[in-house]
Amino acid sequence: MNTTRKQNIIISNPETKDFLADAFYPEEREKLPLVIFVHGYKGYKDWGAWNLMAEKFASAGFFFVKFNFSHNGTTVEDPHNFADLEAFGNNNYSKELSDLGVVIDYFVQNHNVDSRRIILIGHSRGGGISIIKTYEDERIHGLITLASVDTLDRFPKNEAFEQWKKEGVYYVLNGRTKQEMPHYFQFYEDYEKDIHRFDVERATEMAKVHFLIIHGTSDESVNVKNAEHLHILHPNSELYLIENADHTFGAREPWEKNELPLYLREVTEKCIMFIKEKMYL
């Protein structure tokens, strides 16, 4: 199936700032289910093999969207690098949920999209954001998490927290780029003032959608127990564990091959099958 690819679409969010999105979809003009991919911490839309995954979804008959959060550190001019560490340091969960809402608003207006069939796919921290948005937004009909966290309370603890509060910033080394990436204390303050909203456990229990939980058993960043916990909280969900898969399901940045890594291919095929079964496609 021939597919159309529109990349680096500028999305404007008056609550945050402009950011970029990509859309992949079949050339046939018809109403297609909208699948939105939500990247995680230190992630971005063009990382690794996400483009190849997008092509697979489009070929399977979906309108697939991926985007950069406005404050993920990339810019409209430079979407492939963390060119704006000040923005990265000023990111928070309120901004990410706002951006995701704007993405949904933007693409449901597309004449190729069936607004009655909207599915979120969230990776890592993006899984937690997707769970909350799914609970909050009745337009969402399906939810898939990939290597997702089961809580957004992933801040420094004890003495490290007090040091962060005192100094106003702490830094995390990006192992790939070697950049010292700042996290300003506003991140925690934003979380604390709306802590009930950011309760992933509560949102998981309350979300009334078809829910697929995918996780690798060798995930080095988010323990597989997170997936098992989400499944307990939402007993009607489907838990799909991939033996020996890591946090990114075999993908790396840059990904220079023309094929998906084995584990990510399995993830993609499982997602497509799940959506088609649950959405009666």
pLDDT in tens, 266-275: 999 999 999 9
Give the pLDDT of residue 102: 99
pLDDT tens digits, 3-55:
999 999 999 999 999 999 999 999 877 899 999 999 999 999 999 999 999 99
Quote the CA–CA distance of 232 and 217 in Å, as a whole number: 17
* Nearest partner of 249 among 266, 270, 235, 232, judged by Cα: 266
pTM: 0.98
- Residue 1 has what pLDDT? 78
**What pLDDT, on a 0 to 100 scale, did the predictor assign at position 218?**
98
Q: Contact, 21 vs 66, CB < 8 A?
A: yes
Supply the CATH classification number for the domain 3-278.
3.40.50.1820
**Percent of residues, the chain, with pLDDT higher than 90:** 97
Q: What is the pLDDT of residue 44?
A: 98
165-224 pLDDT per residue, tens? 999 999 999 999 999 999 999 999 999 999 999 999 999 999 999 999 999 999 999 999
168 Cβ neighbours under 8 A, 6+ residues apart: 184, 185
pLDDT reported for residue 279: 83
Q: What is the mean pLDDT of residues 219-248?
A: 98
Between CA 84 and CA 92, with CA 88 as vertex, the angle to 5 degrees is 150
Identify the pLDDT of residue 280: 74
What are the tens digits of pLDDT across the range 126-172? Answer: 999 999 999 999 999 999 999 999 999 999 999 999 999 999 999 99
